[in-house]
């Protein structure tokens, strides 16, 4: 009898450990994205958080959205941020000191918002549906995008085109300051 890893550890435990790892990636990355002063560390934290969210989406059953998350956020948005910091401020300059009262106020505000949200989530009872159809395929998504959500799809593509043209216009617009 061969001993494989699934004989030693039950697969459900591996799945749970991987889920916990993804949660740790997400939250750790999110904290890294807001706490350090160096902006490059912030962006790398955002990459880590997006990678963790990709794993969470896999557990939520959608491979397609997970891959899109990885491609769009880690591949495109983080790279755009890195380009922007390469084009904007010199990094060797000392980052400005943080205002202590600002940080404390922000922590209090976000903490209160979080407590209210957790209270709300805990107080609601969600009835699980019994007759869920589990159709996660890309084919269904594509058909829905071309039929029921066609207008939204077109509006989003128009929005993206306008955003690209507009950002090129804004970035190339040089104003003389006197």
Site for another protein in 49-78 (CB under 8 A): 49-50, 53, 56-57, 59-62, 64-65, 68-69, 72-73, 76-77
Question: Which is nearer to another protein, 2 or 85 (by Cβ)?
Answer: 85
The CA distance from 172 to 124, in Å, is 50
Question: Is residue 135 near another protein by the rule CB under 8 A?
Answer: yes
Question: Which is nearer to another protein, 4 or 88 (by Cβ)?
Answer: 88
The CA distance from 139 to 154, in Å, is 19
Cα angle 76-38-167, degrees, rounded to a multiple of 5? 35
Residues in contact with another protein, shown as a per-residue x/- string from 74 to 113 under the rule CB under 8 A:
--xx--xx-xxx-xxx-----xx-xx--xx-xxx-xxx-x
Question: Is residue 23 near another protein by the rule CB under 8 A?
Answer: yes
Question: Which is nearer to another protein, 3 or 173 (by Cβ)?
Answer: 173
Number of other CB atoms surrounding residue 53 within 10 Å: 23
Question: Is residue 175 near another protein by the rule CB under 8 A?
Answer: yes
The CA distance from 36 to 28, in Å, is 12
Stretch 144-173 residues interacting with another protein (CB under 8 A): 144-145, 149, 152, 156, 159-160, 162-164, 166-168, 170-171, 173
Phi-psi region of 90 (alpha: psi -120 to 50; beta: other; left: phi over 0): beta
Strand positions, DSSP E, 74-168: none
Question: Is residue 30 near another protein by the rule CB under 8 A?
Answer: yes
């Amino acid at each position: 009898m061969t001993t494989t890893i699934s004989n030693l550890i039950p697969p459900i435990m591996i799945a749970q450990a991987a889920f916990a790892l993804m949660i740790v990636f997400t939250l750790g990355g999110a904290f890294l994205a807001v706490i350090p002063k160096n902006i490059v560390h912030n962006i790398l934290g955002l990459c880590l958080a997006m990678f963790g969210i990709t794993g969470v989406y896999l557990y939520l059953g959608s491979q397609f959205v997970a891959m899109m998350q990885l491609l769009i956020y880690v591949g495109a948005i983080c790279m755009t941020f890195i380009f922007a910091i390469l084009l904007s401020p010199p990094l060797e300059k000392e980052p400005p000191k943080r205002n202590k009262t600002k940080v404390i106020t922000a922590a209090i505000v976000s903490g209160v918002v979080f407590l209210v949200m957790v209270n709300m989530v805990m107080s609601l009872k969600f009835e699980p549906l019994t007759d869920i159809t589990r159709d996660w395929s890309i084919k269904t998504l594509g058909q829905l995008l071309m039929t029921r959500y066609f207008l939204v799809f077109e509006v989003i593509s128009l929005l993206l085109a306008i955003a690209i043209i507009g950002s090129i216009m804004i970035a190339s617009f040089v104003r003389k300051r006197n």
